[in-house]
Amino acid sequence: MFTGIVEELGEIVAKDDLADSYRFTVRGPLVTSDARHGDSIAVNGVCLTVVDVLDGGAFTADVMQETLDRSSLQALAAGSRVNLERAAAVNSRLGGHIVQGHVDGTGEVLARTPSENWEVVRISLPAAIARYVVEKGSITVDGVSLTVSALGGEPGNEFFEISLIPTTLDLTTLGKAAVGTPVNLEVDVIAKYVERLQTAAR
């Protein structure tokens, strides 16, 4: 489990094709400072398992085709910057919200509207998960826990907006995500459980 509070901006060092999967090498000195084989680290909001911890503050992780198909990790290459977060410690404060690192879909940055002290970013909302997203609710975008500031569009062509403060703009990849950039989306898991329980009760 994660909180959606990014710990550091990392970098993809290598992306090796293993025929039916890829092995990513990711540099992140902070998140690897206490990492061991088998630990979980979220990379742009995708929960990956550490295979090896390398010298120089890097780790490797295997990414299967299912993950590549459901996330934006396929688009990453050596040199890409990524948001990194270690699994939450049970003895710490939950600063964001409950994040599983299980991507529900991908959106695309549609527009960026800068203001004096923040920036509004508009992102497309896949129809399959639109019903789980509500104004003032939580959503994870590339591993960042955010609050939905607005919803809009028509069924099948919906979008949501997030308002990014300077800290988020400076310390995560969202600060540099240009229009057209694909982003990983994870909705609040509680909404999915509620829907499932209501369906089962009918």
Query: 108 falls in which pLDDT band (50, 70, 90)?
Result: very high
pLDDT for 87 equals 93
Whether the model pTM is above 0.85: yes
Domains parsed from the chain with CATH numbers: 8-86 (2.40.30.20), 105-201 (2.40.30.20)
For residue range 140-197, what is the model confidence (pLDDT) as tens digits?
A: 999 999 999 999 999 889 999 999 999 999 999 999 999 999 999 999 888 888 888 8
The per-residue pLDDT of the chain, averaged, comes to 93
Owner of token pair 């789980």 = 132
127-132 long-range CB contacts below 8 Å, 24 or more apart? 127/155, 127/156, 127/158, 128/104, 129/104, 129/105, 129/185, 129/187, 130/155, 130/158, 131/195, 132/104, 132/187, 132/188, 132/191, 132/192, 132/195
Query: 1 falls in which pLDDT band (50, 70, 90)?
Result: confident
Q: What percent of the chain has pLDDT over 70?
A: 99
For residue range 59-97, what is the model confidence (pLDDT) as tens digits?
A: 999 999 999 999 999 999 999 999 999 998 877 777 778
Least confident of 8-17, 28-37, 50-59, 184-193: 184-193
pLDDT for 91 equals 74
pLDDT for 199 equals 83
CA nearest neighbour of 68 among 13, 106, 39, 26:
106
* Residues 1-13, mean pLDDT to the nearest whole number: 94
pLDDT for 130 equals 95
Q: What percent of the chain has pLDDT over 90?
A: 78
Least confident of 96-100, 126-130, 186-190: 96-100
